[in-house]
Structure 1
Amino acid sequence: MAGGLVKYRHLSRKSSHRQALLRNLVTALVQHESVRTTWPKAKETQRLAEKLITLAKRNNETSRRKATGILFTPHDLLPKLFGELRLRYASRPGGYTRVLRTEPKSRYDQGDSAILELVDGPKDLRFAMTAATVARDQRLGRSHNPITLLNRQKVTRFRPGGQAAFDEMVKKVGALRLGGKGAGPQNEGEAPAS
């Protein structure tokens, strides 16, 4: 039937190749907590990664066997999946991953690029970007806009010790004094470091 509903992206691959691709991306995501790929691949990998973390939260023998069937190197990654990641997302009801659109990887390949990352981890980009925005607003003496306040609430909501970790990151980024006019020591009347 023409115009039927497609339940998933085929990614221009046959079934076995598509499964191997998604398993490889999920394995890399669990190992590195952040993966750069194309946007359609990231969205399909996100579906499989969410299911894998839900299996880890169940923490029984059946879920361990299913997770072993998904990961390419289960002997290396099962302790991390059923240990660190399970504890990190124990109180979170869902939404363990985030897909961020990025610029194309090269000017010759104009395909949509994306970063697939685990939220509330050490490589959480939204956490770092929100901390940088808050630090910039504090340095310039401006009040935070509603989007910054919403992002601040989102990144600290389920993170253990979230507010303290966020304040620490704001201090760390504020000490770097990144970006904008007046950021360098020459602009503030200080002598350059020799």
Structure 2
Amino acid sequence: MRHNKKFNHLGRTASHREAMLANMAVSLIMHKRITTTLAKAKALKKYIEPLITRCKEDTTNSRRVVFRYLQKKEAIKELFGEVAAKVADRPGGYTRVIKLGTRQGDAAEIAFIELVDFDENMAKTPKAAKKTRRSRKAAGKAEAPAETQATEAPETKEAPVATEEAPVATEEAPAAE
């Protein structure tokens, strides 16, 4: 029975699993995004998130604890330098796993795992306007006046009419020769 055995063993011995996760963590820190199977990406997420939390406090003890897991000086420098500066105000959730589909050869589920603060494309995308749920009648009535205004405006060639509230200034554009 598997009572209280929560982590995925990934079909490997303990030493092989630890070495693989350490190597994948170093690759993720250095490259900011790696592609792997979904099971490995989820296991790596559980492995690296506590290390990133540890790097927010740059002390000798923190560096020693993280070095015990990673065993690469370059990765430690990158983690405590650039990565720690970006995640300093984030309260958790430093990585993102996105599914990519299945692999051609063995139909394994493929995903990429990335550090959230280092993805420029996701950071720059504006959030879409939230759509509200309305009945069809309300949506039809709201769209009808907009459509009539849009169709009537191009057909009429009259000069804009100034009202008392907001006078409209008309300017003639010089003819292009």
Q: Please, what TM-score do these two structures have when normalized by structure 1? A: 0.62
**SS in structure 2 at match of 1:70:** helix
1:88 equivalenced with 2:72 (yes/no): no
The one-letter code sitting in structure 2 at the alignment partner of 1:77 is A
**SS in structure 1 at match of 2:82:** helix
1:117 equivalenced with 2:114 (yes/no): yes
The one-letter code sitting in structure 1 at the alignment partner of 2:80 is F
Could you tell me whether the CA contact under 8 Å between 1:117 and 1:124 is conserved in 2? Answer: no
Distance 1:110 1:146 in 2: 36
Could you tell me whether the CA contact under 8 Å between 1:38 and 1:113 is conserved in 2? Answer: yes
1:109-136 deviation digits (Å, cap 9, x = unpaired)? 2111110100011x355336x35xx7xx
Distance 1:95 1:70 in 2: 20
Distance 1:125 1:29 in 2: 18
Distance 1:124 1:65 in 2: 31
Cα distance change of structure 1 residues 99 and 42 upon mapping to structure 2, 3 Å threshold = same
Could you tell me whether the CA contact under 8 Å between 1:56 and 1:81 is conserved in 2? Answer: yes
Cα distance change of structure 1 residues 82 and 102 upon mapping to structure 2, 3 Å threshold = same
Q: Which residue of 1 aligns with 2:130?
A: 146
Distance 1:146 1:43 in 2: 30
Q: Structure 2: give runs of 5+ residues left out of the alignment.
A: 132-177
4+ residue segments displaced more than 2 Å? 123-128, 144-147
More helix by share: 1
Larger Rg, first or second structure (1 or 2): 2
CA RMSD in angstroms comes to 1.9
Distance 2:27 2:120 in 1: 16
Cα distance change of structure 1 residues 33 and 41 upon mapping to structure 2, 3 Å threshold = same
Q: Please, what TM-score do these two structures have when normalized by structure 2? A: 0.68
1:69 to partner: Cα distance:
1.3
1:79 equivalenced with 2:87 (yes/no): no
1:123-173 deviation digits (Å, cap 9, x = unpaired)? 355336x35xx7xxxxxxxxx3438xxxxxxxxxxxxxxxxxxxxxxxxxx
Q: Which residue of 2 aligns with 1:60?
A: 59
The one-letter code sitting in structure 2 at the alignment partner of 1:18 is R
Distance 2:82 2:68 in 1: 20
The one-letter code sitting in structure 1 at the alignment partner of 2:110 is S
Identity within the alignment, %:
35
Distance 1:21 1:125 in 2: 29
1:5 equivalenced with 2:4 (yes/no): yes
Q: Which residue of 1 aligns with 2:36?
A: 37
1:55 to partner: Cα distance:
1.1
Distance 1:76 1:85 in 2: 12
The one-letter code sitting in structure 2 at the alignment partner of 1:76 is E
